Amino acid sequence: MYFWSVHLFILLLLAFEQCYAVKDYLFKKCGQSGFCNRNRHFASEVEGLGDKYNSHYSIDISCLDINDADGIVRGVLLKQLNDGTFVDLNFNLTLINNNDLRLRIDEANREERIGTNVTSPVTKKRYDEASKWSFVNSTSIRSSSFKHILGSDKLTLQYGGHYKTDVMLYPFQIYMYYDDNLQLVVNDRNFLNIEHYRTKESEEDENSNDVAPEESKYNAYHDDFKDSKGDTLPLGPESVALDFTYQNYTDVYGIPEHADSLSLKDTTDGEPYRLYNVDIFEYPVEQKYAMYGSIPFMMSVKPDAAIGVFWVNSADTYIDIKKHLAEKQGNDTEKLVDSLKSYESSVDKVQTHWMSENGVLDVVLFVKPTPAEVLKEYGLLTGYSALPNIFSLGYHQSRWNYNDQKDVLDVSSHLDQNQMPCDAIWLDIEYTEKKKYFTWDPHAFPNSDEMAATLNKTGRNLVVIIDPHLKTGYKVSDGVIKDKIGIMKSDLKEIYKGQCWPGESVWIDTLNPASNDYWNKQFANGTDLLKYSTNIYLWNDMNEPSVFDGPETSAPKDLIHYGNWEHRSVHNLYGMTFHEATYGALITRNPHQRPFILTRSFFSGSQRTSTMWTGDNTASWEYLRESIRMILALNIAGFPFAGSDVGGFFKNPDEELLTRWYQAGIWYPFFRAHSHIDSRRREPYLAEEPYKSYISDALKLRYKLLPILYTLFYRTSVSGSPVLKPMFYEYPGNKKSYSIDDQFFLSDLLVRPVMEQNQHSIKLYLPDDKKYYNFFNLDQVLSGEGYHYNVSAEINDIPAFLREGSILPTKQRYRRSSKLMTYDPYTLYVTIDSSGKSANGELYIDDGKSFDYLDSEDFILLNFTVENGDTQFLLK
């Protein structure tokens, strides 16, 4: 029996692995998801009623407590029920950091109202700790002050010189102005919906007071979705939803992770974008499916302002987007008709509707003059990317799997023989003994320390994988069970067991502080995994968490975490708690060395301690193209250290695609080649000539660019600026740049990777009238705002153009790894601006690996300028 079930499992797994198409029936569509279905229904009912709709939400003017000096408004938001009675919602509006507005709404007295109705051990209050995990320091957010005026129908707040915010008391709405221009309207369409606690009986009662006529009861207390039928939903419906209108904006960006265009699409006639961390096998491109990670942060831009909306919620979330573009002026007859039309049609706007399964309603609104300032504020709240260990900016060679230690060392020497620089060789799950993490397969890797030491001689490192699922029946999982630090079943009586790579597994609950000590011990010196090596770094995969036999390939939502929180509430941040535990363990092991951790799952805040990649892509041109869009989306959502599997994970790229992928991959902030266990070996030295030489050239170029990249990472570590900058971000004043996502800026380099088959030229958009010099042939100059056609892009060309007026530092000598380049000289590229007189740039230098830059300010920041023809290097 046991034999057959194992066999069946393996067969199923193989079938799962072999077919190349997303199994979309595994994942809930909005219509199949209780809270999404209910909220879309609610929205369409409200919209259908138009002006006849009377909102249920109003602010109780008698309870307002306004503190100008601390920038806080506290009060009660009343939700009127069918019988005219009210549910009190605690309402809190705070001005934080540099004039950012945080709105929180929670159910007052919820636990008392639930009383003994619910017997499940889950915590009854709404989850309010997403901010604890995602903010850098949720307890010490700076507050700003405002001046207020309270009228009978609205509260006006004025602050920061440029800002005015009107809080309408009935219906509850917020209007945010910058320099007297309306920017953002909160609850513009009255989609605010807080599903307050009601008993199952009340939910089912036809004459219930709790369920308003425009509400639906779909799947409120049970789940019809085939793999989720076991979900116990002990607290019933508890979703939160709200709409935001971006006034005079045309495009919205962000909310990674989705494999779609950078400028997000209108979702009116299709699925909303979903944020729910899942192991989406063979994800398609141009789609709104949930993927491995979630950052509920959306940005919008127009020439004179920019907006960020950060929805601080870690539960399953859907976002609808509706775009209204101003009607273009037509002929005179049309103008007449136009004049009769409402003002509505002459204004661009983007309307968004956010819906989360549960939690408190917590949202931070950033209105700023530029997208750079929005990101700076978002980073002030959630943290900036840590300065990476410099090796991690080099090239990473991975595959599932290198077979044994000889294989690893052979790959390393073949790279050298072919002049292909590389900083790390990676080991996927097969290095372990039967997928028991923290062990080595004793036959394949009898001497891991020696292998690591050999790599170290050429300055190379080893990166090994550790996943959160722990095979049952060995010491690491036994310890998790004994110490009671695993994710528990819904009755809290037993640890949850599910299937993953090792077969039956348990999952460490890294929300539990006790898990940190346990995790630290596994990584300590002398343990099986790391022994005494200092050049081993980590890869955390499958941390959505991926559960092969779980609903939507993940954990059941009614599992219980530390604090008795339902998994439902913390799902999207679990992956982050896992990679943060690994970060803590590496720091504990060696407090002086900057850790490196690659994570597949992430949440807002992950940028502080990890690097991400876009998971299991496919070796085809469309995925190459998608990789750039996805990485750009991450860069403007505060997580710049991002990459994609170069060459594609599934299938086998031909040599042209592989070459083009390397030529594009050198621009990824995180640059790693990786492939599936069934794919053919494709280490770059295996390519035929001339492709091999082209790939070697691309790899060498990556290393030449390291000083530029490292300086950009320094900048992001202090200001949150992207490493790869989308056109809209670099040129917010130029509306034509808003939808471009196949070219970008890396510092002053304008890059347009070739992402189409059999191309000999590309079309490049210049966003201004400056001169752009071909980075490889400074004699070729492009200028003039607009598209430039037929820019040469032969198979050995990497289209990159240096903007006039810039100074870029490079290192030109070929070395086997970044470590061996430490003392190499710098070469500056200088392009004087059109006046013929000035240029500038900067260079950041430190030891590249320790924290001395923090403790003793042991770093150099050089500012290069050419002014009036004089060259200056200034130490900052």
Residues labelled catalytic = 541, 544, 616
DSSP 519-549: HHHHTSTTSTTTTT-SSEEEEE-STTT--TT
Alpha carbon separation from 724 to 467, 708, 741, 838 (Å, rounded): 29, 12, 11, 24
Q: 233, 225 in Cβ contact below 8 A?
A: no
Q: Are strands 749-751 and 273-275 parallel, antiparallel or unpaired?
A: unpaired
Q: Between 147 and 186, how does the x/- string for binding to ligand NOJ read (CB under 6 A)? A: ----------------------------------------
Residue 192 vs 465, nearer CB to ligand NOJ: 465
DSSP secondary-structure letter at 824? P
Give the type of residue at 195.
E
Q: Between 532 and 571, how does the x/- string for binding to ligand NOJ read (CB under 6 A)? A: ---------x------------------------------
Q: How far is the CB of 665 from ligand NOJ (least distance, A)?
A: 15
Residue 661 vs 728, nearer CB to ligand NOJ: 661
Residue 241 vs 465, nearer CB to ligand NOJ: 465
Q: How far is the CB of 464 from ligand NOJ (least distance, A)?
A: 11
Q: How far is the CB of 846 from ligand NOJ (least distance, A)?
A: 31
Residue 297 vs 649, nearer CB to ligand NOJ: 649
Q: 73, 66 in Cβ contact below 8 A?
A: yes
Residue 533 vs 679, nearer CB to ligand NOJ: 679
Backbone angles phi, psi at 373, to 5 degrees: -70, -30
Distance CA 243, CA 256 (A): 19
Alpha carbon separation from 56 to 80, 170, 195, 367, 558 (Å, rounded): 5, 9, 12, 28, 30
Q: Between 643 and 662, how does the x/- string for binding to ligand NOJ read (CB under 6 A)? A: ------x-------------
Distance CA 480, CA 801 (A): 54
Using the rule CB under 6 A, is 424 a contact of ligand NOJ? Answer: no
Q: Report the chain's terminal Cα–Cα distance, integer Å.
A: 71
> In this chain, which of 415, 429, 586, 666 binds ligand NOJ, going by CB under 6 A?
429
Angle among Cα 207, 213, 214 to the nearest 5 degrees reads 150
Residue 238 vs 467, nearer CB to ligand NOJ: 467
7: how many CB neighbours lie within 10 A of its CB?
10
Site for ligand NOJ in 13-32 (CB under 6 A): none
From 433, 43, 382, select the one nearest 374 (Cα to Cα). 382
From 754, 844, 747, 842, select the one nearest 803 (Cα to Cα). 747
Residue 15 vs 69, nearer CB to ligand NOJ: 15
H or E stretch at 636:
none
Q: Which residues of 133-154 are buried (b: 16+ CB within 10 A; e: fewer)?
A: bbbeeeeebeebebebeeeeeb
Residue 73 vs 424, nearer CB to ligand NOJ: 424
Q: Between 395 and 414, how does the x/- string for binding to ligand NOJ read (CB under 6 A)? A: -----x--------------
Q: How far is the CB of 382 from ligand NOJ (least distance, A)?
A: 25
DSSP 452-492: HHHHHHTT-EEEEE--SEEETTSHHHHHHHHTT-BPBPTTS
Provide the token pair at 180. Answer: 């007297």
Give the type of residue at 477.
S
Q: How far is the CB of 14 from ligand NOJ (least distance, A)?
A: 14
Site for ligand NOJ in 359-398 (CB under 6 A): none
The site for ligand NOJ, by CB under 6 A, has a size of: 10
Residue 542 vs 754, nearer CB to ligand NOJ: 542
Residue 477 vs 644, nearer CB to ligand NOJ: 644
Q: How far is the CB of 546 from ligand NOJ (least distance, A)?
A: 8
Instruction: Tell me what percent of the chain is helix, strand and coil, each rounded to the nearest 5.
Output: 25, 25, 45
Q: How far is the CB of 678 from ligand NOJ (least distance, A)?
A: 11
DSSP 205-216: -TT-SSS-TT--
Q: 372, 299 in Cβ contact below 8 A?
A: no
Q: Between 438 and 477, how does the x/- string for binding to ligand NOJ read (CB under 6 A)? A: ---------------------------x------------
Which residue is closest to ligand NOJ by CB? 400
Strands, E assignment, 534-593: 536-540, 560-561, 565-566
Q: How far is the CB of 389 from ligand NOJ (least distance, A)?
A: 21
Q: Between 667 and 706, how does the x/- string for binding to ligand NOJ read (CB under 6 A)? A: -------x--------------------------------
Residue 460 vs 676, nearer CB to ligand NOJ: 676
Q: 557, 566 in Cβ contact below 8 A?
A: yes
Q: How far is the CB of 230 from ligand NOJ (least distance, A)?
A: 25
> In this chain, which of 106, 195, 223, 428 binds ligand NOJ, going by CB under 6 A?
428
Residue 245 vs 675, nearer CB to ligand NOJ: 675
Distance of alpha carbon 328 from its chain centroid, rounded?
Answer: 36
Q: Is 696 left (phi over 0), alpha (psi -120 to 50) or beta?
A: alpha
Q: 669, 642 in Cβ contact below 8 A?
A: yes
Q: Between 51 and 90, how does the x/- string for binding to ligand NOJ read (CB under 6 A)? A: ----------------------------------------
Q: How far is the CB of 468 from ligand NOJ (least distance, A)?
A: 12
Give the type of residue at 800.
A
Q: 492, 556 in Cβ contact below 8 A?
A: no
H or E stretch at 789:
strand 786-792
Site for ligand NOJ in 579-638 (CB under 6 A): 600, 615-616
Instruction: Give me the residues that bind ligand NOJ (CB under 6 A), please.
Output: 400, 428-429, 465, 541, 600, 615-616, 649, 674
